[in-house]
Structure 1
Amino acid sequence: MRIRPPSPRAIAWRAARTWLVAVVVVVVGLMSTTKIRKLLRGKRAAEPFRRTPVRAVPVAGSQIATFTDGAELFEDMLAAIDAASERVLLETYILKADATGQRFKDALVRAAGRGVDVHVIYDGFANLVVSPSFLRFPAPIQVLRYPVWAAGLQVFNPRRLGRDHRKILVVDGTVGYVGGYNIGDLYATDWRDTHLRVTGPAVWDLDNAFVDFWNLRGGSLRRLHQIGTASWDPHVRAHRNTPGQLMYPIRGMYLEAIDRAQHHIYITAAYFIPDHDILQGLLDAARRGVDVRILMPEVSNHVVADWLSRGFYGSLLAGGVRILLYQDWMVHAKTATIDGRWSTVGTANIDRLSLTGNYEINLEIIDPGLAAHLEAVFDNDTRPPQARELTRAEWERRHLVARVCELILRPLRPLL
């Protein structure tokens, strides 16, 4: 009997199944070993990670303060809510049902009780593990839950994909907050993140960002109006990724700023999975003599993202980019400074989900004073033992098993 060779389609299907099985095995193995290592390491050192004191910097008629301590930030935000007299707009990716989350909920209820107009947005998928009863707010508070699955039957429609990953608080149109911090006990004490407090004309951009999202996604909910007057000052601009309108300006902002760099680029990234253009932009900058440094967690809260990031280490190190790995704690900040003049702080990670998928918001600030302060934060974060530098020699000595894992996971890059 003559045995017919398998068709190309059958061969492709078998290869795909083999790869999927390999991915599952690798992911389960990485998650297990990471968990074991954390248990063996035991409790962290008694000394917490270094914070940089809050400093407010004047920028084009506004004041911008940088927070690197979650507990301090949350106290400031709660005080702003308690002082509200007209309107509170709170948008968060995660709202934990713990002591910190309860304090925020209580503050919002108090504000509504004294006649303040309170609106809340949260992401349904990110809060699946949070009790639904906790996420119910009493009237007259208005709540918009971004749905777990927003695409419906339009699975391949980019306008309907992506999460609401933004973190915004605006009070009375006079003070606004934006950055990487979610709301919960963990973020108050155990995560190194960065958030900005803005007062002055630049608050309008944050107010407008919330209002536009509410009116775009709110359906039958009462439409909102902007408070204050828009500013055309070029020193502070809010860039918003809006899948519903096919707008993704944050990626373009990064590419343009990297292309302009002449002296240095300092990036702090919770998850660093750049696309080809951003990777090439950084390598081109290093090639023309720019000092490029990237700070990321050695072990983040997403082990797969860590290993996808590792897939870029070889190219970066060979191209002269310095990689700094944050130790013991999770660094979740999304910040960058270039040439002591340009800065960005916001919610977007340098990965596909943030730059061409999710609803995100970043402030772009062109001001030497703020850039100097953010560079001081970067210096504080990257000094040993808080961080260590990964050398090219160390990277090239990594185990064969690690190389195989990186190769197996590589096709997942476009998904994250």
Structure 2
Amino acid sequence: MLCVALYIIQAMLLCSVAVRDVKHPVRALAWLIIGIVLPFVGVGLYFVLYRRLPAQSRKQTGESPGKPDSTEVPPAISTPSGRNICRIVTHMTRAPAVPAECTVYSDGRAMYHALLRALRQARHSIDLEFYIFRADHIGMRVVDVLCEQARAGVRVRWIRDGVGSRSLPKAVVDRCEAAGIRCRVFYPVRFPWLSPRLNRRDHRKIVVVDGERAFVGGMNIGDEYTGQKDDVGRWRDTHLHIVGGGACRELSRVFERAWTLSSEERRRNNPSRHPRAVTDRLATEFSAEVAPPAHRPPPSSTHQGWVQTVDSGPDYPIPSVRNLFFAGLTQSESSVDIITPYFIPDTDLLTAMKVAVHKGVRVRLLVPEQPDHAAVGYVSRTFYPELLRAGIDVYLYQEGVLHAKVMIIDGETCVLGAANYDLRSFRTNYEVCQVVYSQALANYLERQFEADLQRSTPLNARWLANIPPWQRPVERVARLFAPLL
């Protein structure tokens, strides 16, 4: 009798998962399998990790209520796809495209050189928001500049993600707070640890200086992004430096929303860790690591363009970043080039890629040969045969780590930011992307894309035939759990 009762309860729980996640059937299927393999435990984990957050109103997300004042497209945006994408983004974000100066960095050394220079030149305010912030050579150089500026009277606010930056020593935070920096943690991991917040991370990388210049893209704060870390090797990334008050205001809006969701630091009542003692100790400990670099940073590219900001999160009214990628594919007329370290699209995006090819658009996808997460690699490879059969060109990057997130549409519209081409970025993480309309910038990124292809291997039928037999069932099983990665 007890077994029958437990069976009925388990069946009701599984049915509740299916009904509750009916809008995301693929994710529901993954959790149903977990619930069957781990009775009660699997369903319990689902309800803890995927408890619904209340949807944020447009006032809370910083968006203006109602329709935008105007969907007029700047005359400088000349391609039909660019004009259509601009209208779509304007309607989604309630913010029109604004002019800005944009500099693209694909090398971490050059980006950090420019970032440190901008931080030193700050006069009023510095806002930082990072998924990963490490207390290594680069991280401590940034901390030194922030502390100097805070002591000089500049308002400095710093958000770090509670999981991505969980290894950051408390002593570093104490030092920053002692200097006058306001520090917050986005959804910190605290008792009882398992909560809906654990699965919802702040994946953004944003710096806004004086409300006039900003840095946004794929690079966090850490030595690995310089490509000089022996156990990592060459790092291929993309980051954007924006100069212009209008574009920076939108990024400030994104930062302010994250600031309200973040938690204040919890200070320790430990006399041995007094902020003054921590400051003095760290100043000595890292004194050898704050000297300016001896190397000359590599060149970058600066162009004028029109910019829009698209951000999204699990409690937003619509999946804006996912809709942006969909708009780029469906509105394209001649070419779409995509660079992403993680490729796990949903059905609609996969269909949009194939339909774009059917109407004559050249679609090329550049992904790493070996993603830094093995499970992601297994899942991504299950999509490649389908893409190749549809006529999409797929390339595997061979030289080091590919971490860039770039989309170039019809030689004018560029999408750069922190969001990957995967379900986690679309539904679970807090993300941000910049849409830049500039033929000059697009041409620069296309040349960079062509150079990346020289370091890549194109996929073909021979590659598919050489997949080990044991790998195919592993990949199929991994794909079942794609919505959870």
TM-score (norm 2): 0.68
Partners of 1:298 and 1:308 lie apart in 2 by 13
Structure 2 distance, partners of 1:14, 1:81, is: 49
1:392 aligns with 2:431: no
Which one of the candidate residues 296, 300, 321 is aligned to 1:250? 321
1:147-158 mapped onto 2 (5 Å cutoff)? 147-149=187-189
Q: Report the AA paired with residue 133 of structure 1.
A: A
Are residue 134 (structure 1) and residue 172 (structure 2) matched?
yes
Q: Check the 8 A contact 2:123/2:154 in 1, yes or no.
A: yes
Measure, in 1, the Cα distance between the counterparts of 2:191 and 2:389: 41
Name the structure 1 match of 2:238: 194
Q: What pairs up with 1:2-81 in 2 under 5 angstroms?
A: 16=37, 61-81=99-119
Residue 186 of structure 2: aligned partner: 146
CA 1:206–1:152 in 2, change beyond 3 Å: closer, same or farther?
A: farther
Q: Which residue of 2 aligns with 1:268?
A: 339
Tell me, yes or no, if structure 1 residue 407 matches structure 2 residue 407: no
Counterparts of 1:133 and 1:246, CA distance in 2: 38
SS of 1:400's partner is coil
- What letter matches 1:194 in structure 2? T
Give 3-state SS (helix, strand or coil) of 1:101's partner.
Answer: helix
Counterpart residue type for residue 186 of structure 2: Y
Structure 1 portions without partners, runs of 5+:
1-6, 19-58, 222-233
Does 2:374 correspond to 1:353? no
Identity over aligned pairs, percent: 32
**Structure 1 contact 243–358 (Cα < 8 Å) conserved:** yes
Q: Return the offset for 1:220.
A: 11
Cα displacement (A) at 1:328: 3.4
3-state DSSP of counterpart to 1:243: coil
Give, in angstroms, the shift of residue 408 of structure 1: 2.0
Q: Please give the alpha-carbon distance, in whole angstroms, between the structure 2 residues aligned to 1:87 and 1:162.
A: 28
Given the alignment of the two structures, is residue 94 of structure 1 paired with residue 94 of structure 2, yes or no?
no
Q: Is the 8 A contact 2:183 2:264 kept in 1?
A: no
Amino acid of the structure 2 residue aligned with 1:90: L
Kept in 2, the 8 Å contact 1:160–1:244? The answer is: no
Partner AA of 2:238 in structure 1: T
CA distance in 1, matches of 2:263, 2:358: 47
Secondary structure of the residue aligned to 1:163 is coil
Cα offset, 1:142, TM superposition = 0.4
Alpha-carbon distance between aligned partners in 2 of 1:138 and 1:155, rounded to the nearest angstrom:
28
Matches of 2:258 and 2:241 in 1, distance apart? 20
Question: What SS class does the counterpart of residue 170 from structure 2 fall into?
Answer: coil
Distance 2:194 2:38 in 1: 26
**Superposed CA offset, 1:251-292 (max 9, x none):** 111111100111111000011111111111101111222111
Contact 2:344 2:422 in 1 (8 A): yes
Displacement over 4 Å in runs of 4+: 7-10, 12-15, 149-156, 218-221
CA contact (8 A) 2:398 2:457 kept: yes
Aligned equivalents of 1:207, 1:151: Cα separation in 2: 31
Q: Deviations over 1:312-361 (max 9, x none)?
A: 11111111111111113111011100111211000000111111111110
TM-score by length of structure 1 reads 0.79
Aligned partner letter, 1:170: V
